[in-house]
Structure 1
Amino acid sequence: MAKLRIVSGVAIGLSLAGCAARETAKVAPPPVMVPAQPQVARAPLPPGATPGMRIPALLPDGNYATPNRSLTSAATIWHLRSGLNVAALACRGADEGQIVTRYNTMLTVQRINLAAVEKRYSAEYQSQGGDWRDRYDDAMTRLYNFFSITPVRRGFCAAADEVLADISVAPAEAFDLKAAERLEKLNAPFIAFFRAYDAWRNGTMVPVQQAAAPLTIAAQANAQVVPRSADQPVLSSQPVPAAKPYSPPVINPPSLKVDPAVLQ
């Protein structure tokens, strides 16, 4: 029995030794370090804007269908006066008194000229026949509503203050010559707002600036990472509200109390 136990022990030892010889060490491959994807952020919703709000249509030339496009000389001057009228009515703050004073001064200095401009502008509507007065009044309501878009108020008032300051120091005869340039300045804050809103609505992504991209561990050792160009747009997968036709809110036409002598 003792001899049998010795033989059995040797056999077991040889068997274990054979198994150990057949074992192969398995070593995990080292992790592959790759640059992290740059962080991106969606263009923000402009201050004061609301999802689904209506803005003028974007035209093929990259501009927007505002009431201040494709105007005659008389229409340009009258639209400028209308925009400044809205500023005198709506702009509040430290420059409120200055805007109203300069606007009333402009009415005084340009009284005869503005009366002639309004006559020419009305004649353009009359020449089209039909109920021209209704068309004219509707157009003026849309124009006042446009200049009254609330989210643009701050930029619009700043622009109106600059335009009125320029008018107050420029020669009176330059009023007509610089009307298109000044109207463009009043229109610019609205265009900037529409572009910012469209950038948000279309899901435009903008890169977030950072000093250096940290390293991260790839999910697999053989993963291949293709870096994205910093200026390559990334579109959001989130649904965005569908564009709607521009239809500004209807408000009562503004009125401004001025010195009666101005209108004589």
Structure 2
Amino acid sequence: MIDNGQGRRRLSLLAGSAVAVTLAALAGCAKPPPPPPPPPPVVVIPPMPTPPMGAPLEMRVPAKAEDGTRQTVNYGISTSQTIWNFRSAYNVAALNCVEVQFTPILEGYKRFLKVYDKSLDRASKEIDASFRTQHSGRAAIVARETYQTQVYNFFSLPPVDSSFCQAAMEVSAELNTVEPSQFDNWSYTGLAKLEAPFKAFFDAYDQYRADLAAWQSRYGSNGLITVRPNAEQVMAQPVVQPQASVPQAQ
């Protein structure tokens, strides 16, 4: 016969074991908590594009014709005007390229005026006659001077100074091989070489505008975007930045 006290203890132990087994089974069936949401993607904003060669943020550049040629002051001009525009460009170089390394430009320009004086005189007279066919009296002089000012201003564009002076150095050396009888035809080559740095700058400026438009479309149009540090920034300072304002190009 089982003692009542021992029976109760045995039943208690059995009940405790059953509860423990039940709790363990329930724990095994429970789903783990969901993982935390991933952090927002890191947005690394590249610098806003800037104009080439220190140019202003906004400026007008000559447009391109249908054939892709820049419509500058040297576009579609006569031989006589080509000669005179070359003279004007070379004059600007002689006046503006004053650094020691560009000394040959001034000496070359002085030689140029003497060696090719006949071609220059003839070109000037033909240009005067051309303006007189479109204007009368004093108006013809004013029209030529106005155009000439545009030519000088074109070749005086500050961002292009360095590359323009280098081109003038090369032209000065090449002129030593050009006979006076060949100069009229060569003037197209000479003018193209002096104009090339400006066309390269205009192309670079057009690319800057395209890059700026793309940057603004992606990073600047909404005004505010979420900015989080990249891996290197986290190592340096593990602080997540809140929203930062993205400047709009003016």
Q: Which amino acid aligns with 1:69?
A: Y
1:159 pairs with one of 167, 178, 195: 167
Q: Which amino acid aligns with 1:65?
A: Q
1:51 pairs with one of 51, 57, 60: 57
Question: Alpha carbons of 1:8 and 1:97: their partners in 2 closer, same or farther (altered >3 Å)?
Answer: same
- Structure 1 SS opposite 2:211: coil
Fraction of identical pairs, as percent: 33
Range with greater deviation from structure 2 (52-61 or 125-134): 52-61
Query: Which ranges in structure 1 are unaligned for 5 or more consecutive residues?
Result: 30-36, 206-215, 217-236, 242-264
Kept after mapping to 2: 8 A contact 1:74/1:117: yes
Question: Alpha carbons of 1:9 and 1:122: their partners in 2 closer, same or farther (altered >3 Å)?
Answer: farther
Question: Alpha carbons of 1:193 and 1:121: their partners in 2 closer, same or farther (altered >3 Å)?
Answer: same
1:14 pairs with one of 18, 21, 34: 18
- Report runs of 4+ in structure 1 exceeding 2 Å deviation: 1-13, 18-22, 24-29, 39-45, 53-65, 94-97, 237-241
CA distance in 2, matches of 1:89, 1:158: 14
CA distance in 1, matches of 2:98, 2:118: 29
1:100 pairs with one of 95, 100, 106: 106
CA distance in 2, matches of 1:61, 1:184: 17
Is the aligned partner of 1:129 residue 2:138?
no
Query: Which ranges in structure 2 are unaligned for 5 or more consecutive residues?
Result: 36-42, 215-230, 232-245
- Structure 1 SS opposite 2:60: coil
- Describe how 1:221-260 pairs up with structure 2 within 5 A: 239-241=248-250
CA distance in 2, matches of 1:88, 1:151: 17
- Describe how 1:107-256 pairs up with structure 2 within 5 A: 107-130=113-136, 131-203=139-211, 239-241=248-250
1 or 2 for the larger relative contact order (CA 8 Å, sep ≥6)? 1
CA distance in 2, matches of 1:89, 1:62: 32
What residue is the counterpart of 2:217 in the other structure? none
CA distance in 2, matches of 1:135, 1:7: 120
| CA RMSD, 1 decimal | 3.3
What residue is the counterpart of 1:72 in the other structure? 78
The two structures have a TM-score, normalised by structure 2, of 0.70
CA distance in 2, matches of 1:158, 1:51: 25
- Structure 1 SS opposite 2:54: coil
The two structures have a TM-score, normalised by structure 1, of 0.67
Q: Which amino acid aligns with 2:144?
A: Y
After TM superposition, give the deviation of residue 54 of structure 1 in Å.
Answer: 3.1
The structure that is helix-richer by fraction is: 2
Output one character per residue of 1:156-194: Cα deviation in whole Å (capped at 9) or x when no partner.
011111112111222221211111111111111011111
CA distance in 2, matches of 1:172, 1:43: 47
Question: Alpha carbons of 1:14 and 1:191: their partners in 2 closer, same or farther (altered >3 Å)?
Answer: same
What residue is the counterpart of 1:226 in the other structure? none
